[in-house]
Amino acid sequence: MHSPAMHSPADGTTTVTVLRDVRPWGGARSDLHVAGGVITAVVPHDANAPTDGVVVDGGVIDGRGLLALPGLVNAHAHVDKSWWGKPWVSYGGEGGVQGRIAHERAHRDELGIPGVDVTLAVLRESIRTGTTAVRTHVDVDLGVGLRGIEVVREAVAALGGAVTAQVVAFPQDGVLRRPGVLDLLDAAAAAGAEHVGGLDPATIDRDPVGQLDGLFAIAERRGVGIDVHLHDGGDLGAFQIELIIDRTLRAGLQGRVNVAHGFAVGQLAVPRQAELVAAMGEAGITMTTVAPIGAAPLPLHALRDAGVAVGLGTDGIRDLWSPYGTGDLLALTTQLARLSGFRYDEDLVTAARIASADAGRFVGRAVHDLVVGAPADVVLVDAENVPDAVVRAPRRALVVAGGRVVARDGEVLV
């Protein structure tokens, strides 16, 4: 029974066979059995099985009765553009979307962006705090072409499954206003990007129909999803969501199209909001939010009730857009809950589900939970229950990804 612990030669990780004595979602003490990176059984904790410390032999890990959550899902990241791990970079340039685009284009080269080392740094920090799957937008433009996507793929591969990533080929500098970008997005999709992105079709390209038609043509041709950044608020934003709904239905892309930010949805008066949200649900549109301070919060309950799945993401983490962000999805879950006015236990659990189990669809997973058949992605925290974990965001005691221990006691092992 006691065979040598299975340490991967390349790093300090341990392959898990049993994660014993944990409380999934704050429930009864359980043992999670793992094989091939997948949860194969969830059984009541067997207190009589031998244990003598945190790591026992042969991949048996003692969870010490800690609360277990599924691996956290960052449904909206930009892991190609962070300067995490580098000396402080002071904020500069002009504000607003256009101002930040110009500032980034002027200074990214000197920071080595995009680059494998910077992407690895921010991914490692994310893993340390329990994120095991990411949907990342990656800049595709006339300057870097598809190099950013190659960089992100290389960094993710170097981490050996500690985090998985889906890529959105993201036209940060505009689509139609930069002739050639549409071809780059098409090439990215042909080369394996899971989604093509867009950006404020009205205010950046000043041609919402043109940008969206271009994106949908690629999605239909290449069989990829669409994930559009939409900062435009009020009626202008709502109008573009309506254009997206129309095209989604016509292209039969239900379940494949996401609106990121979508501030307009939170700003509309309730009757118009209800109408729009219902139409989004019927078209299988999803949304991602970064829980921004100062914007009208999305109506999370109305969206979920209408069948509009909502994912939570960090947006940029310490980059040329903003010095803020840590990549800690659980801390961001606290922020989402606060901004949404969540106080009841069931609402706080909903916030945790948005950041984990309910977000599998944003990272290409049919099931992402502490259940048989799910990837063995588990985060342990010392918390009484899920609401306690959400409001306090305690240190991640253990992070398991793909059946390997990838972080322990605040230290990343990959």
| Residue numbers at the binding site for Zn ion (CB under 5 A) | 315
Residue 114 preceded by cis peptide, ω within 30: yes
Nearer to Zn ion, 198 or 208 (CB): 198
Shortest Å distance, C-beta 289 to Zn ion: 11
CA-CA distance, 14 to 6, in Å (whole number)? 6
Nearer to Zn ion, 84 or 342 (CB): 84
Shortest Å distance, C-beta 315 to Zn ion: 5
Nearer to Zn ion, 38 or 97 (CB): 97
Q: Quick check: helix, strand or coil at residue 330? A: helix
The partner residues of 69 in beta bridges, in order of sequence, read 379
Shortest Å distance, C-beta 272 to Zn ion: 25
Shortest Å distance, C-beta 108 to Zn ion: 15
Nearer to Zn ion, 62 or 315 (CB): 315
Of 321, 324, 318, nearest in space to 104 by CA: 321
Burial class of residue 242, CB neighbours in 10 A (0-12, 13-18, 19+): middle
Q: Looking at beta carbons, which residue is closest to Zn ion? A: 315
Nearer to Zn ion, 186 or 315 (CB): 315
CA-CA distance, 124 to 401, in Å (whole number)? 12
Shortest Å distance, C-beta 228 to Zn ion: 10
Nearer to Zn ion, 76 or 361 (CB): 76
CA-CA distance, 273 to 408, in Å (whole number)? 44
**In sequence order, what DSSP letters do the residues of 228-295 get, joined into one string?**
EEE---HHHHHHHHHHHHHHHHHHT-TTSEEEEE-HHHHHS-HHHHHHHHHHHHHTT-EEEE---TTS
CA-CA distance, 91 to 80, in Å (whole number)? 18
Shortest Å distance, C-beta 170 to Zn ion: 8
